[in-house]
Amino acid sequence: EALLIGVDLHKSFGPTPALAGASVSVRAGEVVALMGPSGSGKSTLLHCLAGILRPDQGRVHYRDVELTGLSDTARSALRRREFGFVFQFGQLVPELTCLENVALPLRLERVPRREAERRATEWLDRLEVTDVARKRPGEISGGQGQRVAVARALVTNPKVVFADEPTGALDSLNGERVMRLLAESAREAGAAVLLVTHEPRVAAYSDREVVVRDGRARSLEQVA
Ligand code: ADP
Ligand code: ADP
């Protein structure tokens, strides 16, 4: 049963459409990889499904809610409550320690500091970066930073994690490690993952690959 569905999505930034009728669905707990050439519309599709970007045409459904029918404020609130995000460059707050970075989404939801830091510590352990808790993002490696970013994305127990090239800035060994930990911990937490990647070795950790080409999306089975 689908948790998140995008139907016939269109989006243009200029004369050439970035999305030209893309449809995709994600089931609860499923890890889906969006693959395809650079400029084919993968990030635009991810942003539309995440409710960050409003499509020109088409609809996005999350459970029984039509995301595309919500106000910006209601969409932002739903995003904070139900979704987690990981980007190519961790986008951690440089002034905060890694522990404080992971605890931040909980603090914004008014979880008391002690409880927030306890849960953040559990996620740092889970992502095998216990030792960076007291360090600031500038003092750790790229691979450690992405694992901290994954911990921050999962700490709120999201139903869907959106990951846009989460391993794009890492070498292949660290990239695979981050992806393995992301896929494993999302599965344990019961979160679905929608991932953009152009690396087959990263996509190999997904349950299903969807190929995006010229702004349209097709499951790999349909392509074959
Ligand atoms: P991919 O993720 O597959 O590389 P994108 O979704 O980033 O593809 O981009 C699809 C097309 O839309 C590209 O031609 C890109 O230049 C264009 N595009 C994406 N975002 C913007 C934007 N914010 N402003 C203008 N053009 C954009
Ligand atoms: P609100 O205005 O209610 O906060 P929006 O959906 O307008 O909600 O935007 C929420 C977040 O999404 C903001 O952090 C904003 O920077 C980001 N955002 C909005 N539009 C884009 C876009 N085209 N590309 C990338 N990020 C965007």
* Average confidence (pLDDT) per 10 residues, the chain, 224 residues: 94 95 95 95 97 96 95 94 90 97 96 98 96 97 95 96 94 93 93 95 95 88 48
pLDDT score at 224:
41
Residues with CB under 6 A from ligand 2: 47, 52-53, 72-73, 75-76
| Ligand 1 midpoint to CA 182 (Å) | 25
| Ligand 1 midpoint to CA 96 (Å) | 32
Q: Residue 30: which residues within 8 A CB-CB, separation 6 or more?
A: 3, 192, 193, 207, 208
Ligand 1 pocket test target in 12, 24, 44 with most atoms within 8 Å of CB: 44
| Ligand 1 midpoint to CA 39 (Å) | 6
Atom 13 (ligand 1) nearest CA:
39
Ligand 1 pocket test target in 9, 11, 12, 13 with most atoms within 8 Å of CB: 13
pLDDT score at 223:
45
Q: Are 48 and 7 in contact (CB under 8 A)?
A: no
Q: Are 55 and 11 in contact (CB under 8 A)?
A: yes
Other CB atoms within 10 A of residue 153 CB:
26
Q: What is the pTM for the complete model shown?
A: 0.87
Other CB atoms within 10 A of residue 134 CB:
10
pLDDT score at 132:
98
pLDDT score at 220:
62
ipTM for this model:
0.70
Atom 27 (ligand 1) nearest CA:
13
| Ligand 2 midpoint to CA 105 (Å) | 17
Q: Residue 73: which residues within 8 A CB-CB, separation 6 or more?
A: none
